[in-house]
Structure 1
Amino acid sequence: MELRQLEYFVAVAEEGTFTGGARRVRVAQSAVSATIRKLERELGTALFAREPQATSLTDAGQALLPEARAVLDSAVRARDTVAQARGGLRGTIRMGTLSPIGTREGLAGPLVIDLPAILGRFHATHPLVEFRLRGASSGSASHLADVAAGALDLAMVGTIERPPGVRLHPIGSVRWCFVCAQGHPLADARSVTLDDLRDETFVDFPLGWGNRTMVDRAFAIAGIGRNVPFEAADHGSALGLVRNGLGVAFLPRSAGETPDTSVIEVADVNFDLSIGLATPAHRPQSAATAALIHAVLGAARSSA
């Protein structure tokens, strides 16, 4: 069994297709397919269920995936150790990001830390370190799962969860407020309660996003159902639906304030969403990853 075989196997497993896996490792798809078929022959079992429109792991593939990631992580740490001895950090850091975090001043959305600026300074100091940044269509829940499973080295998350296998380093918090169009009956209210909102139509974010989990849980505890026919993938899209009278939403104050909207505090629930840096609880980190964690947390302390 070779490291290259495991690298191709993990790439296909994480990307979901042989095409995506080949693109990630920058090798022809035929070469990736041939390498994985050789690995399957050596192991005596199929690792993937190959279908015309999708590729999924077999039970054997599911069992191999965490072991393959661990072997590749060990190989990376070994290379990093030698590189450090020769002078200078190097390697690849896989990081999950949140789109509203680290936006430039003047743009809609909260600025907890300026992640692009941190990465820029880090790259200037450690030019041999490469980044592989990944957004999350399923929000922080998928980032937390990937950090625990070894698919990510670290991730920015907004969450109220404390999942096993993950350590959360606090960075800050974002207050979420009730936002409605100016013509809404509650537009002039000083504050609202969840009971005031029981009959509203909501614009919200997809399941798995930390703010969606926070809001859903608060309404469930209060015993109030919600009508959520609209889901948006970013603050701007959600605000556009609200401004045009299609529903109300919960957004950070800085993302919801426009001439056409009202931003109102929620009186009976704490809607402060914790922002943190998620790292593996028990898996050793590469020297480059440890240095980046130190840089991010240092920037968070400086901005506090």
Structure 2
Amino acid sequence: MTRAVFRRLMTLAVSLLVASAVIFAVVDLVPGDPASFMLGTGARPDTLAALRAEMGLNLPWPVRYARWLGGVLTGDLGTSLAYRTPVAGMIVERLQVSLPLALAALALAAAVAFPAGLYAASRGGRAGDAAVMAGTQVGVAIPNFWFAMLLVLVFAVKLRWLPAGGFPGWDQPLAAIRSLALPAVALALPQAAILARVLRSALIETLGQDYVRSARAKGLTRAQALRRHALRNAMIPVLTILGMQFSFLLAGAIIIENVFYLPGLGRLIFQAITQRDLVVVQSSVLVMVAAVILVTFVVDLAYALVDPRLRGAR
């Protein structure tokens, strides 16, 4: 098991190295000159050349990539071209919003999806199953930004229970939690619908196994067999979806963050793209890729915890 974990870590390190090269190359190939964008079209050639030299844009691509990667390995993600502040500090500040939001949305999605999926599987082919599947289909079809605006209209404008946007900071914990409530619900709805459908399908497939039929023959009801025997063996695809959903919620919440004016990581990347702040774009995307790779590794470990047969697998 230890050797397998070590091999997996080495594979993830290589994947992250390749991803960093791809990210740097793609961002570097974006048309336009950041120096010209910052100084404007009327900048003098000598001023433009001096700024390009200061930003390192006059160096060959391999040299610039090596410098950037060396800084990343030492924790120095560079300095923002637009704000003239360390990128690492900006990312850490934005993660204080994006990470709790992603965790809250994932917890809400799981809290809704697991009971719904279990209920639908226990009522397979009957009215309860059809009702849950119809509800999840609606959840998948509704755009989360439209649902977010609906939540703002009801709970912020009409009822005035929760704020419509903004983030006061974690020095005011209650206000911060209230400001993340509506965005978390808006993000959780489609993820809960997807997770419930996957769980229901995995459970119904597991119900056809011999050990579940044996449990039913011993007198267990369908619901008891689901909870005691089928659920754990159906967790492999569910864990895969959970890992993918967390990665999406962390990296793909840019629309919701803009709807609620949240200073999260997705909004930081959007602003950096509009300002052609390539250092921020490269480093932020690399942090997101590293988070996805780390989540994938954790999900692989969770497979072995859920299914003992995988612990000795090579």
Give the TM-score range, shorter chain. under 0.3
Between Structure 1 and Structure 2, the one with more strand by share is: 1
Between Structure 1 and Structure 2, the one with more helix by share is: 2
Larger Rg, first or second structure (1 or 2): 2
